[in-house]
Amino acid sequence: MFSYLLGAKNGIVDALSRRLDLQPETKFSHDLSVTSFDDTSYSLAISEVSGDSELISRIKKSSKKNRDVQAIFAAINKCKSNSKLKREHQQHKKYRYYSEANMLLWYQKPADDAPRIVVPNDVKLRQAIISECHGTNYGGHPGTERTYSTLACHWY
């Protein structure tokens, strides 16, 4: 059963209010058909937002220029080449939550549901990611807490 909540009272994103013509390339949409008890059918669009390829390319490019990110990549690659170092890497407090995949640096603590992409210290890049999460038409301009929660789930 669906019920209407006014803007600020609606703590959960209202997926039903999303306009299909505003779906960006960064959104994957799946249709779902639901039949209620009185045989009335509803169609829903369930969406997942993921990083767009331009942002990912910018992160990769910025990571190549960032000394801190390159130092972590070097430590990870050094550990991959030596099994003794691999055990030490897993125990090393500084880098134990980092991994490398698809030329991106990822961060995941045991309590995290999924790894997050590490974003280098690049102000313009970070602003672009925040804008993608908060300022786009499909985002619905969530408040600061919801914007932060969304960012924290996918980016580090």
Query: What is the DSSP secondary-structure string of 48-91?
Result: EE---HHHHHHHHHHHHH-HHHHHHHHHHHHHHH-HHHHHHHHH
Flag whether 16 is in a domain: no
Flag whether 139 is in a domain: yes
Q: Are 34 and 42 in contact (CB under 8 A)?
A: yes
Give the number of other CB atoms < 10 A from CB of residue 59.
25
Instruction: Return d(Cα 107, Cα 79) in angstroms, integer.
Output: 16
Contacts of 19 (CB under 8 A, 6+ apart): 137, 138
Flag whether 80 is in a domain: yes
Q: Is the pLDDT of residue 32 over 70?
A: no
Flag whether 45 is in a domain: no
pTM of the model: 0.57
Flag whether 19 is in a domain: no
Flag whether 141 is in a domain: yes
Q: What is the pLDDT of residues 33-51, one digit of tens each?
A: 455 555 555 554 444 445 4
- Closest among 118, 110, 146 to 51, alpha carbons compared: 118
Domain range for residue 143? 51-155
pLDDT of the residue at 60: 94
The mean pLDDT value of the chain amounts to 71
Strand partners, 27: 49
Structural domain tally of the chain? Answer: 1
The two structure tokens encoding residue 43: 């169609």
Flag whether 1 is in a domain: no
Q: Report the CATH number that the domain containing residue 68 is assigned in CATH.
A: 1.10.340
Flag whether 24 is in a domain: no
Q: What is the pLDDT of residues 78-91, one digit of tens each?
A: 877 776 655 555 55
